[in-house]
A = this chain, B = another copy of it.
Amino acid sequence: MSRNMDINGERLLSRIRQLGAVGRDAEGRLVRVAATDEDRQGRDLFVAWARSAGLDVHIDRIGNIVAVWQGGANGDADPIMMGSHIDSVIDAGIYDGSSGVIAGLEVITALMEARFMPQRPIAVAAFTNEEGVRYAPDMMGSLVYAGGLDVEEALASQGTDGTRLGDQLHRIGYAGPAEPGFLRPHAYLELHIEQGPILEQVGTAIGVVENLQGISWQRIIIEGVANHAGTTPMQARRDAGVAAARILVFLRDLATRTGGCSVATVGTMRFEPDAINVIPGKASFTVDLRDPDTERLRAAEAELAGFLRDVAAEDGVAITTERLARFDPVVFSPEIVRVLEGAASGRQYQWHHMTSGAGHDAQMMARIGPAAMIFVPSRDGISHNPREFTADPDLVAGANVLLDAVKTLAGK
């Protein structure tokens, strides 16, 4: 492969930092949550860059942004698609999602500047609500794009703040006319930070992601009896908070028992009435269970359900569960994985086979076309946190591997 074409590392890195400066709150925290004003500011910046690069920008009904380079010949052929997301968690880092979207735009720009003649269109997408902080399920935009969730149902989904996603997309000007899935990918490639410690541990810049663990999200609501904290004997209590605490400890032990395969997280918790001298009458929280093995994930869900029955009986509380999201493990396309390995090897980069612990838009796009992912290292494995960091050379290396893989796939 010709060594004479590279992405523009300076432009890539400066754009990652520019986008990272958009959507800061009063305390300077990055809070670019889906369909907020901050999200709109980030979207506007990406759209401006894509238009200035000469790409056709399409917005679909769920708010996905798809920027397309028709290229020369075969404008009607299925495109090579790249993409990721620009929405963030609360108090996020600047790399999660954004680096993949900006790298995709950078790859197209580099190909255009090099007068590359693709055999098919090349597109980069920024998918709506990948993080799922405000609206469930996460990876919603790509799920809808791939036909896994009805667009009307998704638009109707209610946020943690009581808002309706459809209304908020309309409010920020990103309820577009295009039908989700209007372009079917000939192949889909996504660059993303690892968000885990493995690449740093093995000392490798490039992770070639072969598969992705399954995800089970549910909301658990415990109803006990609110009562006076001073006059209600311990044995007479029906304390929803203590019942919730027992479930947290159980989940920690359950996931730890599997020896590092399963992970379990309770990220949100709410007590009612939430008063210092009142026994909680209600506790509601979310459970995030993940495992790369379908059977083990099902078994963990079943164990949890059994423990919930025990707690309900022992603590005299009523427990209800609501499924928020459920995705089986995904295996990526071996062909695309080989293309990524070749691209990395072609640049003399060491690469490492990986299983993704996080959910990604690529797992949804894999439903409608061959897909795979490139990971770059996350320092200390930290993400969803301001301390999230990926070294500049690793970002440039990952984007160049993406470039070469797209050249290979689009050159055919």
Check A383 against B227 for contact (C-beta < 8 Å): yes
A198 CB to closest chain B CB (Å) equals 9
A328 CB to closest chain B CB (Å) equals 14
How many angstroms between the C-alpha atoms of A359 and B230 in the bound complex?
8
A271 CB to closest chain B CB (Å) equals 5
A204 CB to closest chain B CB (Å) equals 16
Check B288 against A276 for contact (C-beta < 8 Å): yes
A237 CB to closest chain B CB (Å) equals 8
Q: A256-B235, A260-B233, A263-B233 are in contact. Are A241 and B227 (CB under 8 A)?
A: no
Give chain A's interface residue range (CB within 8 Å of chain B): 35 or more
B contact residues around A262 at 8 Å (CB): 234
B contact residues around A233 at 8 Å (CB): 196-197, 260, 263
Task: Please tell me how many copies of the chain the complex holds.
Answer: 2
A165 CB to closest chain B CB (Å) equals 16
A88 CB to closest chain B CB (Å) equals 10
Q: A260-B234, A265-B229 are in contact. Are A276 and B241 (CB under 8 A)?
A: no
A368 CB to closest chain B CB (Å) equals 23
A26 CB to closest chain B CB (Å) equals 14
CB 8 Å contact bits of A241-264 with B (1 = contact, 0 = none): 110111011001001100010111
A244 CB to closest chain B CB (Å) equals 7
Check B234 against A252 for contact (C-beta < 8 Å): yes
Check A280 against B267 for contact (C-beta < 8 Å): yes
A52 CB to closest chain B CB (Å) equals 33
Q: A277-B132, A357-B228 are in contact. Are A244 and B245 (CB under 8 A)?
A: yes
B contact residues around A197 at 8 Å (CB): 233, 236
How many angstroms between the C-alpha atoms of A121 and B396 in the bound complex?
85
B contact residues around A245 at 8 Å (CB): 244-246, 248-249, 252, 266
Check A383 against B277 for contact (C-beta < 8 Å): no
Given A196-B228, A276-B324, 4 more contacts at CB 8 Å? Answer: A89-B277, A194-B231, A266-B280, A269-B270
- Contacts A/B (CB < 8 Å), 11 sampled: A90-B273, A132-B277, A226-B384, A227-B381, A229-B265, A229-B267, A229-B384, A230-B357, A241-B248, A249-B249, A269-B283
| A interface residues (Cβ-Cβ under 8 A, vs B) | 89-91, 131-133, 136, 138, 194-197, 213, 215, 217, 225-236, 239, 241-242, 244-246, 248-249, 252, 255-256, 260, 262-271, 273-281, 283, 286, 288, 290, 324, 356-359, 381-385
